[in-house]
Amino acid sequence: MSMARAEDHVGERAPDTMQARVLGCAACHGGHGEGTNNDYFPRLAGKPAGYLYNQLIAFRDGQRQYPPMNYLLAYLPDAYLRKIADYFAAQRPPYPPPLTPAIPAALLARGAQLVKSGDPANDIPACAACHGAALTGREPGIPGLLGLHAEYVSAQLGAWRYGTRKSVAPDCMHTVASRLSNDDITAVAAWLAASPGPANPAPVARGSLKLPLACGSEPQ
């Protein structure tokens, strides 16, 4: 670059847009929140803004423990976290292709049962009862479940079960995860990862689903 051309760029500022401001998120979650190849960094795009905001607050304030996120968010105010949540909630990048799970067909069928119908005999509600028939989530605070790696889903269910991930009481996800066997968790995670993205990724409206159990983070 010539000296004259270099001087033309002196004093240039990055564009003051949310897309520019969230570049720090892109390495792990993708530029539009579409997710990356890392098994444990989830898709953010299209999830309800209320859910994303609650997770940002939880990381900032230490309710969820993952040091890179804790440090990244430590000094950001509520209003700025709300803008980040709104940005990713509005993104609609394509879903990744579904992954063929390396588990027995019977276990995959068990995953489909738990996701779609639950297991009434063991008092396990269907994932779809809270996350919507298309599994795109419910406004304002229940996330979509598709476009995630099986390892991530499995890790989160395990964290809910053992209390290393918590929510406002009554903690409905702890209740549900505590009723799942290890095979159930593997089955649900694999079936979700093997499912294609929805035709319409929008979460369903608040009040459109009657939740099967009390959930402190998502009042009726």
Based on the number of CB atoms within 10 Å of its own CB, is 149 exposed (0-12), middle (13-18) or buried (19 or more)? buried
Among residues 131, 155, 127, 145, which one has the least CA distance to residue 194? 145
Helix (H) or strand (E) holding 188: helix 182-193
Residue 1 predicted with pLDDT over 60: no
Is the predicted pLDDT of residue 5 greater than 70, yes or no? no
Prediction pTM value: 0.91
DSSP 3-state helix, strand, coil percentages of the chain (rounded to 5)?
45, 0, 50
Continuous H helices in the chain: 3-9, 18-21, 23-29, 49-61, 67-73, 78-89, 105-116, 127-131, 150-162, 172-178, 182-193
Percent of the chain with pLDDT over 90: 84
β partners of residue 138:
142, 204
Task: Tell me whether residue 162 is exposed, middle or buried, using C-beta atoms within 10 angstroms of its C-beta: 0 to 12, 13 to 18, 19 or more.
Answer: exposed
Task: Return mean pLDDT, the chain.
Answer: 92
Mean per-residue pLDDT for 65-77?
A: 95
- 195, amino acid identity: S
Contact between 113 and 15 under an 8 Å Cβ cutoff? The reply is: no
**Spatial separation of the C-alpha atoms in residues 185 and 50, rounded to whole Å:** 26
Helix 150-162 to helix 182-193 angle, to the nearest 10 degrees? 150
Looking at the structure, give the CATH architecture of the domain made up of residues 97-220. Answer: Orthogonal Bundle (1.10)
User: Which one is the CATH code of 17-94: 3.40.920.10, 3.40.50.150, 3.40.50.720, 1.10.760.10?
Assistant: 1.10.760.10
- Provide CATH 1.10.760.10 ranges for the chain: 17-94, 97-220
Question: What mean pLDDT is predicted for residues 132-160?
Answer: 96
